[in-house]
Amino acid sequence: MSRVVEHLAELTGFRDRDLLDGTLAGALRDLLRPDSVAIYRAVGEPGRQHWLTRARMGRGDTAAGADSLWAEMDSLPALESKPAHARCLAGEGAIELPAEAGSAGTTTLFPINAEREVLGVLEVRTAAPLHEDELRLVSSILRIYRNFQDLLDYSERDTLTGLLNRKTFDECFLRVAQPGSGRSAPAPTRPNGNALACACLGVIDIDHFKRVNDSHGHLIGDEVLLLLSRLMRGSFRHHDQLFRFGGEEFVVLMRCASVADAGVAFERLRANVERHAFPRVGRITVSIGYTELRASDTPTGCFERADKAVYHAKQNGRNQVHDHAALVAAGHLRDESHASDMELF
């Protein structure tokens, strides 16, 4: 019993989601002594989902392995490549799979639930089927894991849209700006090994949102915010970090190969919003500004640059995407952050 308590204390000791799945896999590996433990998440849009391995530990492993959070979607196994895992994800509950032909052992799958959805699938491979006490142990630990995830969601996510909230922004900013530091993930790479050398921040603002609330009421306004958050999830990659800052203002943090790649992603969102038919409201547009993160950036300074690009978009017709650096180069904006740096010396 003391070992179980120790593992539960470790599991709930971090507020770092990147470490939580690895801690869960390690706890189950130590308690059950299986051949292997793995945790999979389904990422991507419905109909085009793939399996992301969040943690995997074998009998002799000292640390959990995982797919890179920055992995290209097409490099990951398709959802249909693991049909039993897909059934577990769809809500069939725990599934025990017989040994494959020519091999011994049993694979047991457990759904990893959150308050509103199934987050992923836990895979436990053992020499013999899990007995009743072991099944209850896994189920109990997964309930604690779910409760802890729900607490994190309550403190870190916007209650309407489910996107990350303003309180989490500074810490997320530092992880994106300084990959590989502290407990954050290693510097991200593409499958070919090339570094994703560029980090960008974008600010998204709904055009004329006050008219929506004034004309249709706040309930319809909330529906617009919720639908926009869904369009954002469909327009960006699974590892891009999406925030609602409050009101009609949203923020995106991403790493990519170049600033031009970030511009393509923001333009994709702008076009998706413009094409979408919002119930009762009709056409909605967004103005977007973005900027590349600099070595000495603070969260506030970087946000202000992107916000100035948004302001320029709104002053020049709305429904536009602008790169702050491009606006400075064209003479439309003055780079106050560089000016301030020069005044210090």
Hey, what domains does the chain have and what are their CATH numbers?
A: 2-156 (3.30.450.40), 166-343 (3.30.70.270)
95-120: average pLDDT: 82
Query: What confidence category does residue 341 fall into, taking pLDDT thresholds of 50, 70 and 90?
Result: very low
- From first CA to last CA, the distance across the chain in angstroms is 62
Query: Which amino acid makes up residue 107?
Result: T
pLDDT tens across 239-271, in order? 899 999 989 999 999 998 899 999 999 999 999
- From residue 88, alpha-carbon distances to 76, 135, 273, 278 in Å are 19, 16, 33, 33
Q: What is the pLDDT of residue 288?
A: 98
pLDDT category of residue 196 using cuts at 50, 70 and 90: low
Q: Which residues pair with 251 in a beta bridge?
A: 203, 243
Continuous segment of H or E residues that includes residue 84:
helix 83-87
Residue of higher predicted confidence among 340 and 154: 154
CB–CB of 38/53 below 8 Å?
Answer: yes
Active site residue 248: yes
Residue 28 banded pLDDT, cuts 50, 70, 90? very high
Residues 189 and 249 sit within 8 Å (Cβ to Cβ): no
The span from the CA of 23 to the CA of 191, in Å, is: 25
What does the DSSP assignment read for 267-292? HHHHHHHHH--BTTTB---EEEEEEE
**Does residue 301 register a pLDDT over 90?**
yes
Whether 303 contacts 174, CB under 8 Å: no
The least confident of 1-5, 33-37, 162-166 is 1-5
The span from the CA of 143 to the CA of 115, in Å, is 11
Render pLDDT for 52-91 as a digit per residue (tens, 0 to 9). 999 999 988 988 999 987 777 888 999 999 999 999 999 8
Q: Which residue has the higher pLDDT, 194 or 176?
A: 176
Q: Which of 248, 292, 336, 343 is catalytic?
A: 248
Token digits of residue 258: 């170049």
Measured distance CA(300)–CA(310) in Å, rounded? 15
Q: What is the pTM of this model?
A: 0.76
pLDDT average, residue stretch 93-101: 82
Distance CA 115, CA 263 (A): 34
* pLDDT band, residue 308 (cuts 50/70/90): very high
Tell me the per-residue pLDDT of 208-228, one tens digit each, with 9 for 90 and over: 999 999 999 999 999 999 999
Q: Strand 106-113 to strand 95-97: parallel, antiparallel, or no bridges (unpaired)?
A: antiparallel
Q: Looking at residue 195, what is its pLDDT?
A: 52
Residue written as tokens 């895992």? Answer: 85
157 pLDDT more than 70: yes
Asked if pLDDT for residue 175 goes beyond 60, the answer is: yes
